Amino acid sequence: MPEAARCVVLEAFDQPVALDERPVAAPEPGAAVVAVDFGGVCGTDVHLQAGRLPISLPVVLGHEGVGRVAALGEGLEHDALGAPLRIGDRVGWASSIACGRCFYCRDAQQPTLCERRRVYGITRRLDSPPHLTGAWADTIYLEDGTTIVRLGEAQPSEAVIALGCAGPTVVHGLLHRMPPRPGEAIVIQGAGPVGLAAAMYAQLAGARPAIVIGAPAQRLELASRLGVGDERLDIDALDIAARAARVRELTGGRGADLVVECTGVPAAVAEGIDLVRPGGRVLVLGQYTDHGPTPINPHLITRKHLSVDGSWAFSAAHYVEYVRTVPLLRERFALEELITAFPLTRAQDALDAARTGNVAKAVVVP
């Protein structure tokens, strides 16, 4: 086990991230120290840096990661699925630990709403032990209670990190709350990782056509190359009326059976309500940060007899399901091609790339 590890720290909002170094603590019972191979860069990290989420700083960033076990605390002998866990094993882990005791954990059984949910790379302060609690670091300390999953041959680290957050987010929102049915016409708004993951899972479920609406052009080109979506509409090339006309053309004039919003842009929700057919379903999945209100016409929800649903984050169980389905996704889509790697020392460049959408999925590599 290394004695010290470098880590990328968000010290202040709207400021570049800084590289720091901390001693690596030996794992307590039930905990593990993992040498990070890839730390994912998520849209949430961009929002954290901009101060759009109320967190306490300083924080080691990185709520998505994969790596190799460097040390195991007493009693930690198996992963979340019961497979034996040994030094050197490649693993992924769920970003959050729900308390298991609050109303949402125990009574409502909606652990993503847990009142005391602890999230690596977001809600842990660098200055309180065990310090190294983000994946943008040489090592991460995984506390007792973390859901750790050993990765097999069909789950390469590059593939698992490609949809590190987006995959389990879609497993929760789409597969569990609004599962697409075979032959349904689905519109996915957004070509970021969540949008691409939604399109992939919808295609696996047999939805057709899967229509991805998004930008920039290079993301849509990558989606096209990987076979993500049956049709891709570029919002920089088609205005809102042209997009609506094209969706109707592709759906027998009625509109989509299911619209999945994965943009984070409030106005997209009104467009989704327009694009869905009467009696259809709308899943609002992309509004993770508060960008304020937007005009919608609620009459359309009644008149069109719509089901509108939201979905917040993902639980450890959704993460396990994501990792289990990575081999299925990979049979059809080259997940590894989504990632663009940046060294740990260039974490700020990785954040900038995620902000501009110049890359499909930025990852930092210690």
Cβ closest to Zn ion, residue 256 vs residue 335: 335
Part in contact with Zn ion (CB under 5 A); list of ranges 75-83, 111-119, 244-252, 305-313: 111-119
Q: Does 48 bind Zn ion (CB under 5 A)?
A: no
Cβ closest to Zn ion, residue 41 vs residue 308: 41
Q: Does 99 bind Zn ion (CB under 5 A)?
A: yes
Q: Does 114 bind Zn ion (CB under 5 A)?
A: yes
* Positions in 311-350 near Zn ion (CB under 5 A): none
What is the C-alpha separation between 291 and 267, in angstroms, rounded?
Answer: 10
What is the C-alpha separation between 105 and 3, in angstroms, rounded?
Answer: 37
Among 9, 44, 263, 308, indicate the residue that binds Zn ion (CB under 5 A).
Answer: 44
Say if CB 166 and CB 193 are below 8 A apart: yes
- The structure tokens 């700083």 sit at 57
* Positions in 242-301 near Zn ion (CB under 5 A): none
Phi, psi (deg, nearest 5) at residue 316:
-60, -40
How many of the chain's residues bind Zn ion (CB under 5 A)? 8
Q: Does 171 bind Zn ion (CB under 5 A)?
A: no
Any idea what DSSP says for residue 78? B
What is the C-alpha separation between 309 and 317, in angstroms, rounded?
Answer: 20
Part in contact with Zn ion (CB under 5 A); list of ranges 41-49, 68-76, 154-162, 215-223: 41-49
Kindly state the smallest distance separating residue 138's Cβ from Zn ion, in Å.
21
Cβ closest to Zn ion, residue 53 vs residue 244: 53
Residue of 338, 359, 361 lying closest to 227 (CA atoms):
338
What is the C-alpha separation between 49 and 15, in angstroms, rounded?
Answer: 7
Part in contact with Zn ion (CB under 5 A); list of ranges 31-39, 47-55, 83-91, 94-102: 94-102
What are the strands of the beta sheet with 276-284, ordered from one edge?
A: 231-234, 210-214, 186-189, 256-261, 276-284, 307-310
Tell me the two tokens of residue 78: 């198996």
Kindly state the smallest distance separating residue 288's Cβ from Zn ion, in Å.
8
Q: Is the dihedral of CA 55, 59, 61, 66 positive or negative?
A: negative
**Contacts of 241 by beta carbon, 8 Å cutoff, 6+ apart:** none
Among 42, 70, 151, 362, indicate the residue that binds Zn ion (CB under 5 A).
Answer: 42
Kindly state the smallest distance separating residue 49's Cβ from Zn ion, in Å.
13
Binding site for Zn ion (CB under 5 A): 42, 44, 98-99, 102, 105, 114, 165
